[in-house]
Amino acid sequence: MLFTIMDLQGFIVSFLSLALLVSGQYDGSRYAWYTSAATDFNSALPVGNGRLGGLMYCTPTEKISLNENSIWSGPFLNRLNPNASSVLSHVRSMLESGNITGAGQVALPNMAGNPTSPQHYTPLGQLSLDFGHSSQGSLNRWLDTYQGNSGCSYIYNGVNYTREIVANYPTGVLAMRLQAGQAGQLNINISLSRSQNVISNTASTSGGVNSIVMRGNSGGSDPYFTAEAQVILSGGSVSASGSSLMVRGATTVDILFDAETSYRYSTEADAEAVLARRLSSATSQGYQALRTAAIADNTALIGRVSLDLGSSSGSAANLPTNQRLSNYKTNPGGDVQLVTLMYNMGRHLLVASSRDTGPLSLPANLQGIWNEDFNPAWGSKYTININLEMNYWHAETTNLAETTKPFWDLLALAKTRGQLAASSMYGCPGFVLHHNTDLWGDPAPVDYGTPYTLWPMGGLWLSSHLMEHYRFTGNKTFLQETAWPILQSAADFSFCFTFLWNGYYTTGPSLSPENSFIVPSNESTAGHSEGIDLSPTMDNSLLYQLFSDVIEACQILGLTSSECSNAKNYLSKIKRPQIGSYGQILEWRQEYGETDPGMRHLSPLFDLYPGSQMTPTVSSSLATAAGILLDHRMQHGSGSTGWSRAWVIACYARLFNGGSAWNNVQAFLQTFPLTNLFNSNDGPPMQIDGNFGFTAGVTELFLQSHAGLVHILPALPSALPTGSVTGLVGRGGFEVDIHWSNGVLESASITSKLGSTLALSVANGSSFSVNGQKYSGAIGTQPGGVYNITLH
C-alpha cells in the first residue's frame, strides 16, 4: 500500500518536472535554485567571507542586504549587579533547606544584569541597484554551496541580464558583476542606504574612481563604520548625484565592496586605511581574478568532504528548491538528495560566516552574519546555553577546523570580561559567563527569568570545545597558548564557585537551560514552577567534562600547576548522572514534577551528545537511561525547533539508532527549512544553529570518534542502503572515507594525519580487516599512513 502511494507521488513529481523545466540544469545536491525573485529575507540567497555577508534577491530593483559582523547596537555595557555577591550564600542556604521559590525571589533581582540585555547585532544596510526593469522573464537564481557564490539571470525587453555575487575571503571584499547580454543595455542607479544612524553617504566620480562611501554608527557611539562600494564599468558612462551613482549604456558593471569598523581599529583613520587598501587590491585584481580566487579558497575548504546518499526518485531533485521543500512534506522518501543539499548548506553557511579574519575575528551568531533587522530575534547575538556551541558542532567533524578560530577569539575576550564577573558576582578567581554574550564578551546574566538567567556555566560549555579542537587537530601550540589559559581559568572559577554539599561539589544558584520544574510537597512553595536550583545534571556533566579536559591537557603538556591536581580531586566528587522512576536520566538533583515533558532543550543529555559519558561504548546503563529520556521527550513534542531537532538527530545517532535518527532528519526537512534553506523555529525567524546542527547530526550517522574509538557506520539508517562520504575527520586526526552498499560497509580508508593510536569499530561489532589483516585491537599508525578497512 505504502509503495503504491509513493509510486503515484513519484509519478506526479516527474510529470511536474517535465512540464516546468529543462531537467538536470542544476545538481540538486549542490545548488539551491529558484525560478522567481526572492520575496523576503527568508528566500534571498546568502554569501559571505566570514566577516562581510550579502543576501541577493534578484528583484527588478536589486536589494543586496549587507552585513559586517562587528556592527552591533552599541559599546560594551558593564551590566554586573553589585548586589550579587552579598546574596549568594543566603540564596544557597535557602536552596539547601528547600525554599526554592524564596531563593529565586532573592536571586533574580539581586543577581540579574542591569540592564538585562547585552548589545545586539544590527544590519550594515543595503546596496540598491535600480535597473529600471518592470518585468523579469525566464528568471533563474541560484546559490552554489560548493563554490560559495550566487547569481541570477532573466530576460527583459529581449535582453538577457545576469547578476553574480562572490564573497572573497583572501582580499576581504564582496564583488558583484552585473551584465547585459547586448552591448550598452545596462542603466543602473546604484546606492547604499541604511535606515538608522547614517553619518554621511556620498557618491563621487572624482579622480576616475566611481564610489559611494557611507559612514554610520550605533546611535552616536561605538561601533562606527565606513562602507564603500566602488563601481567599474565596461562601456557606458557614470555620473554621481548625491548618494547615487547613475550608470548609463554599460555592458558590464562590477561593484566591489568593503566595510571596516571601530571594533578592530582604534581610530577611524586606521579603519579607513584598511578599507582603502582592500579596495585598491580588489580593483587592481578585477572581478574575474577576485571570483577565481574566492572560488579556489572556498572549494579548498568545502571540497574536503563529499557526501553521496544516492539519487532522488525520478527527477525530484531537478525541481527548484522551493518545490522540492514542498514535495518533501508529503514524500520525504522521494528526494534523498535534499538531505545532501541541506548537509552541504550547513558547511557553506559556516565557511561563509566564520573565518579567521585576523585578531578579533567573530564567530557565527544566531543568524550567522545575515540580518536585516535593527531589532532581530533574540538580538541575533551569541546564546551560549546551546546555540553558539551547536554552530561549531560540525566544524571539526566535517573538516573545517580553521573556521573555529573566531570562536577562540571571542572566548579569549569573554574570558577577560568574565574574570571581572567572577570576582564581582561570586567572589571567585577565574572567569564566568552566563547564557548569552555579545561581541564584547559581555559576561553578565541576560534577560530576567528563573529558567534561564542565572546559569553560570556558559564559559564551561564553550571551554569544552578547546580540548575537542586539540583532539581533532593535535595542535599542541593551540593547546598550550590558546586552550590552556582558558581551561585553567574555567577550572579556577569552578573550584571556587562549587561547594561541598552532601559529599559532592555542587553548583548553585544555577538551572537547567531553559527548563523549569514543580516544587515538591515537602519544599516551598509547593506546586510552584521554578527554575533555579542546586546541581542540575548538566552542570555536573560540564564540570566532569572540564576537569577531565584539564587533566588531559596537563598530561599532554606535562604541566604541574595546581589546577592539574585540583581537577583530579574535584573530579572524584562530581555527582554522576542519576536515574529516575521510569529509567530515565534525571534532569535535576531530585525527581521533580515536569512542567514541559516535551522540553526542546536536551540539557541533561549533554553527556550523550556532544559529550560522551552517556554513550553506549562508555556506559550502556547511562545510554539506556538517556534513550528513555530522549524517547519521553520526543513523545511529548520535543524537537520543536530546528536546533532542537538537530540535537535529537545527533542523540539518536549516538545511541546507534539510525532509524529514529533518520525519521528526525526527514521531519527536520519537512518542518524547519525556509525557502532559502535557512533553518527556522518552525517558521521565521531564521536561526542558523539548526543548519549547523543538522550537518553535525547527519555526520554522526556515518562516523563517530568520541571516547577513544573511531566508529565507522555506527548508525546507518536502513533507508540509505548505498552511499559514500569522504573527508570526514575523527578525533586523533584521522581523515575517513567510507563507501557502503546493501546496508553494509564496502570499504573505508583512513588517513592518519598525526600518527595516533587507532581503535576501530565498524557498525557496532562487525568483524573487519585493516589492510588485509584481521583487526583484533587498537593499532599504532604512522603519520600519513593509509589504513583500508574491509569487512571480514
Task: Return the beta strands (E) in 2-60 as ranges.
Answer: 31-34, 45-48, 52-56
Quickly list DSSP for 354-377. ----STT----BTTBT----SS-G
Is 20 a binder of ligand NAG (CB under 6 A)?
A: no
Stretch that binds ligand NAG, among 95-103, 272-280, 551-559, 560-568 (CB under 6 A): 95-103
Phi-psi region of 769 (alpha: psi -120 to 50; beta: other; left: phi over 0): beta
User: How many residues make contact with ligand NAG (CB under 6 A)?
Assistant: 42
C-alpha distance across the termini of the chain, in Å = 38
- Asked if residue 555 binds ligand NAG (CB under 6 A), the reply is no
- Part in contact with ligand NAG (CB under 6 A); list of ranges 34-42, 96-104, 120-128, 751-759: 96-104
- The stretch among 48-56, 126-134, 646-654, 716-724 that binds ligand NAG (CB under 6 A) is 126-134
Site for ligand NAG in 428-487 (CB under 6 A): 475, 477-478, 481-482
Examine residue 135 and tell whether it contacts ligand NAG (CB under 6 A): no
Which range of residues in 104-112, 116-124, 367-375, 688-696 is near ligand NAG by CB under 6 A?
104-112
Q: Is 105 in the site for ligand NAG (CB under 6 A)?
A: yes
Regarding 246 and contact with ligand NAG (CB under 6 A), the answer is yes
- We find the least distance from the C-beta atom of residue 672 to ligand NAG, in angstroms, to be 27
Q: Does 94 bind ligand NAG (CB under 6 A)?
A: yes
Half-sphere exposure of 105 (CA within 13 A, CB side): 9
Q: Which is nearer to ligand NAG, 387 or 540 (CB)?
A: 540
Regarding 765 and contact with ligand NAG (CB under 6 A), the answer is yes
Contact between 590 and ligand NAG per CB under 6 A:
yes
Which ranges in 84-227 belong to alpha helices (H)? 84-96, 100-111
Instruction: Please identify which residue in 135, 270, 771, 780 interacts with ligand NAG, judged by CB under 6 A.
Output: 771
Binds ligand NAG by CB under 6 A, chosen from 36, 671, 749, 766: 749
578 binds ligand NAG (CB under 6 A): no
Q: Which residue among 83, 299, 311, 790 contacts ligand NAG (CB under 6 A)?
A: 83
**Angle made by CA atoms 273, 175, 220, in degrees to the nearest 5:** 45
State the binding string over 617-656 for ligand NAG (x if CB under 6 A, else -): --------------------------------------xx
**C-alpha angle 525-457-399 in degrees, rounded to nearest 5:** 140
Separation between Cα atoms, residue 586 and residue 580, nearest integer Å: 6
Q: Which residue is nearest to ligand NAG (CB)?
A: 102
| Distance in Å, CB of 247 to ligand NAG, minimum | 8
User: Biggest alpha carbon distance in the chain?
Assistant: 83
User: What are the DSSP calls for 683-720, one per residue?
Assistant: SSSB-THHHHHHHHHHHHHHEE-GGG-EEESTT--TT-
Residues for the chain: how many in total? 792
- Out of 60, 85, 98, 708, the only residue in the binding site for ligand NAG (CB under 6 A) is 98
Which residue of 524, 751, 766, 790 would you call a contact of ligand NAG, by CB under 6 A? 524
Q: How far apart are CA 635 and CA 536, in angstroms?
A: 23
Residue written as grid cell 546542527 = 693
Say how far apart CA 32 and CA 11 lie, in whole Å: 23
Min separation Cβ 130 and ligand NAG, Å: 5
| Residue from the set 13, 106, 301, 422 that interacts with ligand NAG by CB under 6 A | 106
Distance from C-alpha of 491 to C-alpha of 43, rounded to nearest angstrom: 44
- CA atoms of 766 and 533, how far apart (whole Å): 45
Residue spans of alpha helices (H) in 210-286: 268-285
Residues 393 and 464: beta-carbon distance below 8 Å: no
Instruction: Please say which residue, 130 or 596, places its beta carbon nearer to ligand NAG.
Output: 130
**Which residues bind to ligand NAG, rule: CB under 6 A?**
81, 83, 94, 97-99, 102, 105-106, 109-110, 114, 130-132, 138, 153, 155, 160, 162, 187, 189, 246, 475, 477-478, 481-482, 520, 522-524, 590, 616, 655-656, 749, 764-765, 771, 786, 788
